[in-house]
């Protein structure tokens, strides 16, 4: 079979196509290499990269460049919630995927939510922030200032004993909200806090009697938490068992182990002792009431909060 005749024009066109292809490739390379993150990657690894390595792994760099370009244009990304990052691993350029800022923020919120445990507490505490009190009026400023002081001191030295607060005042003035804000602030620092609506907890404890649940397990859990808030103490239906075998046991443990404990109440400390803890269906027991109050006074400093009822909706 005779050889096909050499076509000068076709050969010239092929040569020009190759030349055009090389020019286009060079332009793409320049575009990729000028991308800020890629330039920074080259600078960081300048002593480890060679021309051969960069040419060999250019497809990885081009993939990274394309993903960044698509993300900037609002187009779908490869892994939603994750951003590509260039890395040099075992003499190869690779793309690793790390959580983006939105994903990290969501993870932090989940972590914080896990650090704030609650029993019978209103959902509003999830949204409570100390910033809500940044312009606190005079009626609430003493409690707010004391909480700020505790948070700062505890973060600075968590192993030292820090006395809690007993915040009392009328309904709806923000006592529970302030405790929720404190808990969320501490959770941001990785510090767990447990908030317990004590009247609800007392009901749970009564319900556990005669059931498969062991009341002692709940008591052990509550008494050992690093920071405890007992909310609305004094609103529970008091019995000698709740006073002495539940609350007394929890507070005795926390006093002996110097664990920060907070209280909110509509009663002052004196009122809580004389009007609530002293008399049960078993009669008046002032000595037992006084013994319990000694524990509360050791664990917490009393602060009165005043102000208008913020729960009222016109």
Tell me the domains of the chain and their CATH numbers.
15-99 (no CATH), 111-304 (3.40.50.300)
DSSP reduced 3-state for 193:
strand
Q: Compute mean pLDDT per 10 residues along the chain, 314 residues long, and list them.
A: 51 55 77 88 89 87 87 79 88 87 74 80 88 74 94 95 96 92 93 95 86 83 95 92 94 97 97 92 89 97 88 50
Q: Which residues, 6+ apart, have CB-to-CB distance to 125 below 8 Å? A: 116, 118, 176, 177, 179, 180, 183, 184, 195
For residues 117 and 107, give the distance between their C-alpha atoms in angstroms, rounded to a whole number. 17
Residue from 191, 187, 244, 253 nearest 220 by CA: 253
What is residue 151's predicted lDDT score, i.e. its pLDDT?
97
What is residue 66's predicted lDDT score, i.e. its pLDDT?
87
Q: What is the number of H-type helices and E-type strands within the chain? A: 13, 10
Whether 53 contacts 91, CB under 8 Å: yes
What is residue 198's predicted lDDT score, i.e. its pLDDT?
96
Whether 116 contacts 226, CB under 8 Å: no
What is residue 307's predicted lDDT score, i.e. its pLDDT?
80
pTM recorded for the entire structure: 0.69
Residue from 300, 200, 196, 205 nearest 246 by CA: 205
Whether 137 contacts 305, CB under 8 Å: no
What is residue 314's predicted lDDT score, i.e. its pLDDT?
38
């Amino acid at each position: 079979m005779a050889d096909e005749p050499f076509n000068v024009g076709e050969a010239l066109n092929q040569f020009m196509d190759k030349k055009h292809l090389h020019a286009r490739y060079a332009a793409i390379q320049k575009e990729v290499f000028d991308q800020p993150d890629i330039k920074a990657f080259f600078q960081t690894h300048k002593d480890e990269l060679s021309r051969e390595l960069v040419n060999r792994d250019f497809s990885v760099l081009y993939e990274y460049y394309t993903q960044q370009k698509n993300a900037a244009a609002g187009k779908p990304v490869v892994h939603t919630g994750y951003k590509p990052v260039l890395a040099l691993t075992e003499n190869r350029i690779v793309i690793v995927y790390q959580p983006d800022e939105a994903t990290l923020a969501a993870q932090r919120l989940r972590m914080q939510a896990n650090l704030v445990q609650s029993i019978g507490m209103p959902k509003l505490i999830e949204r409570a922030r100390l910033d809500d009190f940044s312009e606190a009026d005079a009626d609430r400023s003493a409690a707010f200032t004391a909480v700020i002081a505790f948070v700062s001191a505890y973060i600075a030295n968590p192993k030292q004993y820090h006395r809690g607060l007993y915040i009392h005042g009328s309904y709806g003035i923000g006592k529970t909200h302030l405790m929720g804000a404190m808990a969320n602030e501490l959770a941001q620092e990785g510090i767990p806090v447990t908030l317990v609506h004590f009247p609800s907890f007392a009901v749970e404890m009564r319900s556990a009697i005669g059931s498969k649940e062991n009341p002692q397990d709940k008591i052990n859990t509550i008494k050992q938490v690093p920071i405890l808030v007992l909310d609305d103490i004094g609103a529970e239906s008091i019995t000698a068992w709740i006073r002495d075998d539940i609350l007394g046991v929890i507070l005795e443990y926390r006093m002996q182990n110097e664990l920060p404990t907070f209280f909110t109440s509509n009663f002052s400390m004196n009122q809580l002792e004389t009007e609530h803890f002293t008399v049960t269906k078993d009669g008046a027991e002032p000595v037992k009431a006084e013994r319990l109050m000694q524990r509360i006074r050791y664990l917490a400093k009393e602060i009165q909060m005043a102000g208008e009822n913020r729960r009222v909706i016109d």
